[in-house]
Amino acid sequence: MSHDIGCLRAIEAFYAYLDGELEDPAAIADFEHHLEHCRSCFSRIEFEKALNERMRRTAKHESPDALRKRVGKLMDKF
């Protein structure tokens, strides 16, 4: 059964949880149990998720055609 880990331990686990690096099922369950009972940490996690999504959309770029052609030419020479 999950127990409340409190905000300080939850904060320490924020990024590991968000980045899929919290592997122990019991640790995940404890973290999620805390989120269910702490409005502040829940809001913060939602904010972090939204920021991640925004970063992915903003900082992912398509490579320019010129670069694709340049790399294609390099590949032809290899």
Partner 1 sequence: MTDSDTKAFFGAGVEENIDALYSVALRLTRKDADAEDLVAEAVTKAWSAIDSLDDRERFRPWLFRILHNTFISDYRKQSVRPQEASYNAGECDDDDLVTLLNEQSDDFLVWWSNPEREFFNDLLGEQLLDALDQLPEAFRTVVILVNVEGFTYDETAEVLGIAPGTVRSRMKRGRTLLQKALWQQRPAPERCNT
Residue 30 CB-density burial (10 A; 0-12 exposed, 13-18 middle, 19+ buried): buried
CB nearer to partner 1: pick between 11 and 29: 11
The residues in 34-63 that bind partner 1, with binding defined as CB under 8 A, are 40, 43-44, 47-48, 50-52, 54-63
CB nearer to partner 1: pick between 3 and 57: 57
Q: Following DSSP, what letter does each residue of 2-24 receive, concatenated?
A: ----HHHHHHHHHHHHHTT----
Q: Which two tokens stand for residue 32?
A: 């999620």
Q: Which residues in this chain contact partner 1 in the complex, by CB under 8 A? A: 8, 11-12, 14-16, 19-21, 40, 43-44, 47-48, 50-52, 54-64, 66-68, 70-71, 74-75, 78
